[in-house]
Structure 1
Amino acid sequence: MVHPDEFKGPEADALPDTATVPAELAALYLCMTPAQLADLRKSKRPDGRAGHGASIIRPVEGGAAAGPKDAVLYQLGTLRGFAKAHTAPTAFDTASDSGLPGWLSARLPFFAEREPRIKRGRRVLIGGAWDRADPLREKRFAELAKGRIRFTSLTCAEAAASLWADVASHRAFAEKGLALLRSETQAIEAALADTGLLPAAASNPETVA
């Protein structure tokens, strides 16, 4: 968790570049999995030679007292620099844009309220944590690092069926799924109509163009 002294005031909307975050939050900030982030820390390939692939994200040095079990921390300025240099769609973006299969099966990170508002512990979502174009993402990430909110991994279908902190955000997100369902329904109905025409086409082959 980020120490409060690292912020630009108690109500800062964004974390300063000097703030440090653990690997789990660093991966979330970069819209990748912790395993992918760990791969970027590797300076050598499995064969021992220097790597020439993607830029390496290096964690903050822990000093001489740091041991192998100490948490890996990343400076936010380093993460921001990496994100600006790598603007290609992330795996999360691809999953969210892959149509109904992605909507139903791909798990994406969502910001959520820290404590359930109602009985049975139902989550209350705030927004998608993978959307780097969201103007509120930096503010929400700061709230996450301060422990005021949390994040959870859900499929888009699960998220659409969850409670949200405000109706407008929920409706805008759910409409994407409803549009996919309408498109799928239309395709099924069209296929059913074509199936109904098969007997007539079989008895009158000349009518088939």
Structure 2
Amino acid sequence: MVHTDEFKGPEADALPDTATVPAELAALYLCMAPAQLADLRKSKRPDGRAGNGASIIKPVEGGAKDPVLYQLGTLRGFAKTHTAPTAFDTALDSGLPGWVSARLPFFAEREPRIKRGRRVLIGGAWDRADPLREKRFADLAKGRIRFTSLTCAEAAASLWADVASHSALAEKGLALLRRETEAIEAALAATAQLAAASNPDAVA
């Protein structure tokens, strides 16, 4: 997490460029897996090409075993120059298989509202177009909220902090189910037509 003294005043809803975050949060900010970020920060990749990842910011005091930290301004610059679809985007675009199997990060309230209940979801942590993403990332870095990995199917069946956000995700799943249902019904109709053409006496 980050030091809360850095975030006071009118800009408290967004982290400053000078803030540093651990690799786990840096990967989340860039919408990639921690292993992918670790590969990008290497000076040399396995194929011999130079790495082009975000610069590593290490603590002023400490040794080689201290956690790797990234400066948020560096991450923002990296994100602006790397706008290709992320692995999360690919999972969302893969249809029903991705909906039920790909695990994506979601922002969630820190504690369940109901005793022994599930945490309440707030939004998709991978959605770079979300106007509230910077604020939510700041809340995450300050420990006010958390993130959890779920499939979209699991998230759609979870509790959410607001109806609009829940509905936006749920509608994507319902649309996928409608398309799958239509495809199955069309296949059944085609099978019936094939059977009728192959054995017209049976239909009569």
Please indicate the TM-score interval, normalised by the length of the shorter structure. Answer: 0.7 to 0.9
Deviation at 1:9, TM superposition (A): 2.6
Q: Helix, strand or coil for the counterpart of 2:126? A: coil
Partner Cα distance (1:184, 1:125) in 2:
27
1:22 touches 1:71 (CA, 8 Å); kept in 2? yes
Tell me whether 17-26 or 118-127 shows the greater mean CA deviation. 118-127
Deviation at 1:11, TM superposition (A): 6.9
Percent of paired sites with the same residue: 91
2:101 touches 2:151 (CA, 8 Å); kept in 1? yes
Cα pair distance change 1:73/1:52, threshold 3 Å: closer
User: After TM superposition, where is structure 1 displaced by more than 3 Å over at least 4 residues in a row?
Assistant: 45-63, 200-209
Cα pair distance change 1:159/1:70, threshold 3 Å: same
Once the two structures are superposed, residues 40-83 of structure 1 have per-residue CA deviations (whole angstroms, 9 ceiling, x without a partner) of: 111023477755799989898857xxxxx211111000000100
* Alpha-carbon RMSD: 3.4
Deviation at 1:5, TM superposition (A): 1.5
2:57 touches 2:71 (CA, 8 Å); kept in 1? no
Q: Helix, strand or coil for the counterpart of 1:70? A: coil
Partner Cα distance (2:97, 2:182) in 1:
16
2:96 touches 2:176 (CA, 8 Å); kept in 1? yes
- TM normalised by structure 2 equals 0.88
- TM normalised by structure 1 equals 0.86
Write the mapping of 1:95-174 to structure 2, written as runs, cut at 5 A.
95-174=91-170
2:57 touches 2:69 (CA, 8 Å); kept in 1? no
Deviation at 1:12, TM superposition (A): 1.4
Once the two structures are superposed, residues 145-186 of structure 1 have per-residue CA deviations (whole angstroms, 9 ceiling, x without a partner) of: 000000000000000000000111101110000000001001
Cα pair distance change 1:28/1:119, threshold 3 Å: same
Cα pair distance change 1:49/1:190, threshold 3 Å: closer
